[in-house]
A and B are shown apart, each in its own frame.
Chain A
Amino acid sequence: MQRIGVFVCHCGSNIAATVDVKKVVEMAAREPSVVHAEDYPYMCSEAGQAKIAQAVAEKGLTGIVVCSCSPRMHEATFRKAAERAGINPFMVEIANIREHCSWIHKNIEEGTEKAIILARAAIAKVNLNAPLFPGESRVTKRALVIGGGIAGIQSALDIADAGYEVDIVEKTPSIGGRMAQLDKTFPTLDCSACILTPKMVEAAAHEKIRIYTYSEVEKISGFVGDFTVDIRKKARSIDATKCTGCGVCQEKCHSKKSLSEFNRGLGTRSAIYTPFAQAIPNVPVIDREACIKFKTGKCGVCAKVCAAGAIDYEQKDEIITEKYGAIVVATGFDTIKLDKYDEYAYNQSKDVITSLELERVMNAAGPTKGHLERLSDGKHPEHIVFVQCVGSRCSDERGKPYCSKICCMYTAKHAMLIRDKYPDVKVTVFYIDVRTPGKNFDEFYRRAVEEYGVNYIKGQVGKVAPQPDGSLLVQASDLLDNKQIKLKADMVVLATAIEPDPSVRPLATMLTASIDTNNFLTEAHPKLRPVESPTAGIFLSGVCQGPKDIPETVAQAGAAAVKAIGLLAKDKLTTNPCTAKADELLCNGCSTCANVCPYGAISYETKLINDHGIREDRRVAVVNNALCQGCGACTVACPSGAMDLQGFSNRQIIAEVDAICR
């Protein structure tokens, strides 16, 4: 029988307020295998941990139960404490009497009774715990960054600067991402391209960085330190080694009617194209859907004009398989579709645009060469209305429940830029709240109002109605004056909610990384591990984790890089010892377990088994501990119960069930 010590934490008053900790101690002490039980205000504190060490020394404990907060919070803390005290760390179990008990039950009797039962379940489990010893696995010293926007570029540069190889996979023909589409950045109003392109160039030139553009991650297997990734390099139809980037092909291309993705569909591009002038790599791709050669077999003008002979219509997709130790996800965002927002007339009027489209309109390289004009008739607008929170902070299914975070600031930026360049244009902003928490942010917003005379109205726009004269009638409520107002506008700009890029969903599945209801990747801990995925070896950079502006994105990208570097700096990782294990005497060798193993961790060998005197060659399952991640799928698939999971064994779970139901 184990000699178990039970340590009940008050967590200040977090637990003690609704759980009678003394009673829990008293009841736990009565359990047959418990030889020590005590409570303490903060078990996780140094003094609390010292109490554990002391009890181990004095009472010769072999197992420890800590009744405290969630094991997701402090299991590691107490395991380390046990190890320091000379007990195998896996002889510790946590009874979660805070999150699962004291915080949700107001009645002290109820809370105490439940805490006692949870403690008993943990005691019952520890009774059956056995010391476990982690194994080791190697680390491939190369990182993969998925997404080539500012987040991905920054993470890649930081990792590469630390001396590790990095590959960037970007699905579009160029790195640069959303930031490349922006005109100016808040709150400094410096030119986005001016600060981004040097980073792009630096990444491209870095000897430790390889960039796969027009490429997508197709398959991911393996685990922290040892991922194997298949990257699909889509056929560019251009031999990148020959292309000089002269651009003649794009000029001569006969198919020029394709909508430019880079310009958000506001302008056109040729079928052979680079998305923008500063694209990296400066190698075009042929859009096979638009290309006359691919559609009809005729044309081929680009091949004719290409002096380098770089055009290759036969090029095929290529699969590159590479090993990585760490993966940084930087898949970024897109704006939501506005199909369901008929009231804003986005689909009806060309003069209703999104803010991101306005960036292109304002940009010198954009569809209007930087002139502010109505896209419907090219006329100079007299009045522009900005609508905030389109799809953000939305309670219905059309939009997103969260705040997109960047809109208040870029709207102020847009308003200010317009007023600065075209003082004759009247600017009105409808807002729910103006949120400006950031360095120099509120100052920036106030300048828009005070210095530039932007008219901010607290209220929601109910309808934008295109008028026969081409103007737009904006109906809104003014909440401060408590009245309905109607305004005539020439342009309406919608601060459209942002959402994670749709590619993140299948990617999360491949990564086995968890994702929240809004498709943002979940962090391992919202406060303490904000740049790590719960899946080991996966790091989160930029908006894929949640809405962010550029400085935050860059900061997080750096943080993710540091976490990745920390991983790559290790030669070996200790593996989770809670892995599956086959009992050779019970194994049928039927392969059912291998069929459900997501990691290919189970193989079979024929070996001589001595089953209580019967010696015979048997086909038995063997688990590779480095590959096994301990999900337990095999344990249930196994009909004979030969497969069991260490740390969550059948008998342990049954003991918990019994303790709860007794």
Chain B
Amino acid sequence: MQEQLINRAKELLADGTVVRVLGWRRGDMDYNPEVAYFNSADELNDFVYNGFCGANLSKYMIEASKLEGRTLVFLKPCDTYSFNQLLTEHRVDRDKAYIIGVGCRGKLDIEKIKAQGITGITGITGTPDAVKVSTIYGDFDIACKDIRLERCHVCKGKEHRVYDELIGESADTRDADRMAGVEAIEAMSPEEKFAFFRAELSKCIRCNACRNVCPACSCRKCVFDSTKFDSAQKANTTSFEEKMFHIIRAFHVAGRCTDCGECSRVCPQGIPLHLFNRKFIKDINELYGDYQAGESADQRAPLVSYTFEDAEPGIVSERGSK
């Protein structure tokens, strides 16, 4: 598929449809391609598309929308939800984007490979179903389903929600219940819940990677960076600020988060941040009807809507902690 993408990108550059290409560039390891702009056919020789191209390119389109001319952007099915959401919020310009919906059979998580005790990796090759990891300590064969990103286990499906053309086959890799993690926590006692989140959030280093990678966190200036709320942007001397940060961040993206999973993917401390977002998604679905942010660009988000019969906030204590 990679060759197909490169060739098509070269064509579109050549015929002037686009003036640049936003994609993934080969990294210095097989597992760390980086997001990059390609301005010429020559540069496209470094273009790569493989199982480690998990990065969601839609947020980069905010900056690309400000540039002259059209940008070719490759979006995986789940990335298109984010793009739609950004369209809804007027953060990207549809006319400035030429979207190739790329096929996706699930993306891989290098952390899961490393978690198997594999280190000294010198190369990774593979098929859609399995990879061979070569290391200085020996070679390992691993099934892809064991090393997929968390989000791929709860895949939203193989359909692209917005595109100009499609290249490549996709597969729905869902093999887990999206809300299982949330439900497990909901079933805990308040003490257990508190202990769980305290342990997770105690790791937070306020690096802001989750925020900065998040396509919904597209504010020009985050409230945590401004002085409007007297809120701390950086690590404070106690733990509360981390809680505040993660609650508010999740709240600000509630109803806008497409559950793209980038926050959990990038967290250097492996905090399962999607558990915050999915809690809101679950509540929204249960209380206000099923809603998938980014499914189309003309939806009205749940937090800017209401019905006369909405549940009262007291429902929280009624449902109560177990």
- Asked whether B228 lies within 8 Å of A588 as measured between CB atoms, the reply is no
Which of B89, B220, B226 lies in contact with A592, CB distance below 8 A?
A: B89
A187 touches B (CB below 8 Å): no
B39 touches A (CB below 8 Å): no
- Asked whether A641 lies within 8 Å of B89 as measured between CB atoms, the reply is no
Which of A583, A604, A611, A637 lies in contact with B303, CB distance below 8 A?
A: A637
Which of A583, A616, A644 lies in contact with B66, CB distance below 8 A?
A: A616
B130 touches A (CB below 8 Å): no
Dominant secondary structure of chain B at its interface with chain A:
loop
Q: How far is the CB of A399 from chain B (nearest CB, A)?
A: 26
Residue-wise interface mask of A (584-626) relative to B, using a CB-CB cutoff of 8 A (1 in contact, 0 not): 0111111110011000000010000001000010010000000
- Asked whether A591 lies within 8 Å of B228 as measured between CB atoms, the reply is no
B310 touches A (CB below 8 Å): no
The docked-state distance in angstroms from the alpha carbon of A640 to that of B221 is: 6
Residue-wise interface mask of A (462-486) relative to B, using a CB-CB cutoff of 8 A (1 in contact, 0 not): 0000000000000000000000000
A575 touches B (CB below 8 Å): no
Q: A609 — nearest CB in chain B belongs to which residue?
A: B220
Q: A619-B90, A650-B229 are in contact. Are A640 and B304 (CB under 8 A)?
A: no
The docked-state distance in angstroms from the alpha carbon of A611 to that of B314 is: 43
- Asked whether B91 lies within 8 Å of A651 as measured between CB atoms, the reply is no
Q: A640-B219, A640-B223, A641-B223 are in contact. Are A592 and B228 (CB under 8 A)?
A: no
- Asked whether B230 lies within 8 Å of A651 as measured between CB atoms, the reply is yes
A86 touches B (CB below 8 Å): no
State the interface size on chain B (CB cutoff 8 A).
Answer: 20
Residue-wise interface mask of A (183-224) relative to B, using a CB-CB cutoff of 8 A (1 in contact, 0 not): 000000000000000000000000000000000000000000
Which of A585, A586, A590 lies in contact with B89, CB distance below 8 A?
A: A590
Q: How far is the CB of A600 from chain B (nearest CB, A)?
A: 14
Q: A586-B228, A616-B66 are in contact. Are A596 and B304 (CB under 8 A)?
A: yes
**Chain A residue contacts of B228, Cβ below 8 A:** 583, 586, 641, 644, 650-651
- Asked whether A654 lies within 8 Å of B229 as measured between CB atoms, the reply is yes
B8 touches A (CB below 8 Å): no
Q: A618 — nearest CB in chain B belongs to which residue?
A: B220
A639 touches B (CB below 8 Å): yes
- Asked whether B90 lies within 8 Å of A640 as measured between CB atoms, the reply is no
Q: How large is the interface on A (under 10, 10 to 19, 20 to 34, 35 or more residues)?
A: 20 to 34
Q: A653 — nearest CB in chain B belongs to which residue?
A: B229
Within 8 A of A (CB), among B278-322: 300-301, 303-304
B179 touches A (CB below 8 Å): no
- Asked whether A640 lies within 8 Å of B226 as measured between CB atoms, the reply is yes
Q: How far is the CB of B317 from chain A (nearest CB, A)?
A: 22
The docked-state distance in angstroms from the alpha carbon of A328 to that of B221 is: 47
The docked-state distance in angstroms from the alpha carbon of A586 to that of B90 is: 15
- Asked whether A595 lies within 8 Å of B300 as measured between CB atoms, the reply is yes
Within 8 A of A (CB), among B135-177: none
Within 8 A of B (CB), among A416-444: none
Q: A596-B304, A640-B223 are in contact. Are A588 and B230 (CB under 8 A)?
A: no
List 9 A-B residue pairs with CB atoms under 8 Å apart, sorted by A's residue number. Answer: A588-B91, A589-B90, A611-B220, A637-B303, A639-B223, A639-B252, A639-B253, A650-B228, A654-B230
Known: A589-B91, A611-B220, A640-B220. 13 other contacts (CB 8 A): A585-B220, A586-B221, A588-B91, A588-B219, A591-B90, A592-B301, A595-B300, A604-B90, A616-B66, A637-B304, A640-B223, A640-B226, A641-B223
Chain B residues in the interface with A (C-beta under 8 A): 66, 89-91, 218-223, 226, 228-230, 252-253, 300-301, 303-304
Q: Which 3 A-B pairs have the closest CB atoms?
A: A590-B89, A595-B304, A640-B219
